[in-house]
Structure 1
């Protein structure tokens, strides 16, 4: 599989996954023109994308959806019922082909197997995805303040993780953000901290395996790469089992597994 993280952060999220001749898009939180440009930079024809998966309805995950649907009427969009119900009327009108996904289910799309699970975020019905193809396993877990232990087996032993390490709590609490926003971010319906993300990676990746961790949704003002690395070294018992990739709001990151 080839994974292209087109953008990750509070200003927009999108990622492309290719396996053989199959091509899917996860989230579309950047403008249509930016999406088209970023795909072209990575030699992906936007017309080749026929399947789009949405994790939840926040604007940094669906910003480009309405315009995309205007130009690509043949695309099938996959989303939860809660996410669908949260879309505005104009977007629903353009949404001709769609599939309602349920948590804790398995779906076969092209040559991918999708397993869905519930995330804990202040959205109506956010979903995470475990995607398998050609004996490779990808876990997508971004925009969540908590991951229930009942999903640990499902999420373990993957080859690639898109897992957020959004903030360092001390920087967040010392920031100028309003108190209610700080409380939202650190809550179980908010975002994972560096410590929490590193703890999960240590749990998910067995000691006899190596995996890629694409650190996602990094706060621009309440986190930095040095603090993330400190958490990794302090918490992950064997940091050598993790190849760490820091995602970016502006620069695409490409991983082949």
Structure 2
């Protein structure tokens, strides 16, 4: 199983996951043209896609889904409420390409198992995904106001995480956003801060080689260096030293991460 975080941030999100037989993306929150460019950068072709898994209907996650589905005849998977919420936002997707993937279920694609799980975000029925193959596990969790014990039980022990580290609380509080947006981001259906993300990480990592990709960083209320520093310090306060068995890696809104094996 291999993956690349194609893009992650306030302006658009997409993650590529493949094994020897299938290739998927989680969300397509950029234009079709930009998605094609990102695929080229990881030496892959859209024609290889086996499907698109949708997390929720916010534009930074679905902007390119309709275009890609129609152009490349790609199956799209989402739960019923998300399909309903996407109606009118992604254009017409043929019925034969529309598949329901309900929350808290597992779908098998050959040797690859894909598990959906609920998160706490202000969307119709938001959910994220855990990928399993040959005893290896990749977790994607990038939009949630908090990480519940139930979520932790599902994602615990992954070999690689694409984990939200959205904002620095002080930057957000002192920033230009109106209070209504600040309150939404800080709420239980908003986004997790650097510190809260790190506390959740401390509860789900095992003492084995683990990579955590800090993702969905706010363009206005976070910085890569600040996110790494805050997460590192908070993990250290929880007894986890970054660099021993746990590695923190950056993601970017414009450039994909290197395609790596889980």
Partner of 1:104: 104
Say if 2:257 is the partner of 1:253: yes
Partner of 1:84: 83
Q: 1:18 to 1:228 in 2, by over 3 A?
A: same
Say if 2:39 is the partner of 1:53: no
- C-alpha separation in 2, matches of 1:165 and 1:29: 18
Aligned pairs for 1:1-20 (under 5 A) are: 1-20=1-20
- C-alpha separation in 2, matches of 1:22 and 1:69: 16
Unaligned segments of structure 1, at least 5 residues: none
Say if 2:219 is the partner of 1:214: no
Once superposed, what is the RMSD of the aligned Cα atoms? 1.4
Aligned pairs for 1:20-169 (under 5 A) are: 20-73=20-73, 75-89=74-88, 91=90, 93-96=92-95, 97-169=97-169
Q: Give the deviation of 1:113 after TM superposition.
A: 0.6
Whether the 8 Å CA contact 1:22–1:111 is kept in 2: the answer is no
- C-alpha separation in 2, matches of 1:45 and 1:61: 20
Q: 1:95 to 1:122 in 2, by over 3 A?
A: farther
TM-score of the superposed pair, with normalisation by structure 2 = 0.93
Partner of 2:224: 225
Q: Which moved more, 1:105-114 or 1:51-60?
A: 105-114
Residue 138 of structure 2 aligns to a residue in which SS?
Answer: strand
Q: Give the deviation of 1:109 after TM superposition.
A: 2.1
Q: Give the deviation of 1:90 after TM superposition.
A: 7.0
Q: Give the deviation of 1:81 after TM superposition.
A: 1.1
Q: 1:50 to 1:170 in 2, by over 3 A?
A: same
- C-alpha separation in 2, matches of 1:42 and 1:130: 22
Residue 182 of structure 1 aligns to a residue in which SS?
Answer: helix
Q: Give the deviation of 1:91 after TM superposition.
A: 3.5
- C-alpha separation in 2, matches of 1:221 and 1:86: 27
Say if 2:197 is the partner of 1:197: yes
Q: 1:108 to 1:90 in 2, by over 3 A?
A: same
Whether the 8 Å CA contact 2:81–2:125 is kept in 1: the answer is yes
Whether the 8 Å CA contact 2:69–2:75 is kept in 1: the answer is no
Q: Give the deviation of 1:76 after TM superposition.
A: 1.3
Q: Give the deviation of 1:19 after TM superposition.
A: 1.0
Whether the 8 Å CA contact 2:32–2:68 is kept in 1: the answer is yes
Q: Give the deviation of 1:69 after TM superposition.
A: 2.2
Match for 1:241 among 225, 245, 250? Answer: 245
Residue 177 of structure 1 aligns to a residue in which SS?
Answer: coil
Q: 1:90 to 1:244 in 2, by over 3 A?
A: closer
- C-alpha separation in 1, matches of 2:256 and 2:187: 29
Q: Give the deviation of 1:85 after TM superposition.
A: 0.3
Q: Give the deviation of 1:152 after TM superposition.
A: 1.8
Whether the 8 Å CA contact 2:130–2:138 is kept in 1: the answer is yes
Aligned residues: 255
Q: Deviations over 1:136-157 (max 9, x none)?
A: 1001101111122023222111
Unaligned segments of structure 2, at least 5 residues: none
